[in-house]
Amino acid sequence: MRRNHRVFLIVTFLVLAALSCQLGTALGGGTPEATGTNAPEQGNVILEDDFSSSDWGTGTDPDSSLEYANEALQMIIFTKNYFVWSVPNDEDYNSTHMEVTATNNNSDPTTAFGIICHQQVTSDSFYYFAITPAGQYAIAKAAAPQKDVFLTNNNQWQYSDFVQANAPSYRIGADCGNGTLTLYVDGQQVDSVSDTTYTDGGVALFVWSGEDVASANVTFDDFLMKELP
């Protein structure tokens, strides 16, 4: 996957080429059986942010807007199939559990949003944990200049009972470290995979507009990052 991008402050905006598995298409069959696995207790707090201060990257241009609003971080996209993220700092982390509350502000069901980890400084390469208002999810690996690979569900989006369709908000969690990537939603484990391509890197929050809809609007609040045991 070839990306054209530019840097604005510490926020990177990406126009994504077509993926082999697009939002809202090539869906996996059926709904995974609910396991009822709760998110485990984690270690010491590394970073906690209620977005009452402006530490994350912000910026506005014709394609998107990332700005603080009502003591939260709001990401709005005005362009189809557009991926935007914001980072809290330039630190690298190697074994973390992260959580954030994402509020869906009437975004299209094909909008995706979530958490990035192990972001590489010298390339557009990272892991990301994505959910959609339609109730889909994916754990994926970006490795520029290749196409993104969904590590879950045979490289396809999939529905989960734990990702409630059109919920007002979602508490998204992610374990990233020790070769394991685990996605949680509202305290329940959705899926887990193993991959050792990246062993450390930066963290970020992201929103990705749908392939056919030139709009997305998601607000993030109450970010928490802890050490994995």
Average the pLDDT over 100-116 and give the result: 94
Question: Domain 3-16+42-227 maps to which CATH number in 3.30.70.100, 2.70.70.10, 3.20.20.60, 2.60.120.560?
Answer: 2.60.120.560
DSSP per-residue string spanning 172-200: EEEEEETTEEEEEETTEEEEEEE--S---
Residue 149 has pLDDT above 70, yes or no: yes
Average the pLDDT over 97-117 and give the result: 95
Residue 29 has pLDDT above 60, yes or no: no
Share of the chain above pLDDT 70, in %: 82
Confidence class for position 97, pLDDT limits 50, 70, 90: very high
Query: What is the DSSP-derived secondary structure letter of residue 28?
Result: P
Share of the chain above pLDDT 90, in %: 73
Q: Which residues contact 81 (CB under 8 A, 6 or more apart)?
A: 15, 16, 18, 208, 209, 210, 211
Which pLDDT does position 124 carry in this prediction? 86
What integer best gives the mean pLDDT of the chain? 85
Which pLDDT does position 122 carry in this prediction? 75
Burial of 183 per CB tally in 10 Å (0-12, 13-18, 19+): buried
Confidence class for position 42, pLDDT limits 50, 70, 90: low
Q: pTM (2 decimals)?
A: 0.85
Average the pLDDT over 151-158 and give the result: 97
Which pLDDT does position 170 carry in this prediction? 98
Q: What is the pLDDT of residues 183-206, one digit of tens each?
A: 999 999 999 999 999 999 999 999
Which pLDDT does position 40 carry in this prediction? 63
Residue 109 has pLDDT above 90, yes or no: yes
Average the pLDDT over 17-26 and give the result: 37
Q: What is the pLDDT of residues 48-89, one digit of tens each?
A: 999 998 999 999 999 999 999 999 999 999 999 999 999 999
Distance set, CA 189 to CA 32, 98, 127, 213 (Å): 12, 13, 17, 29
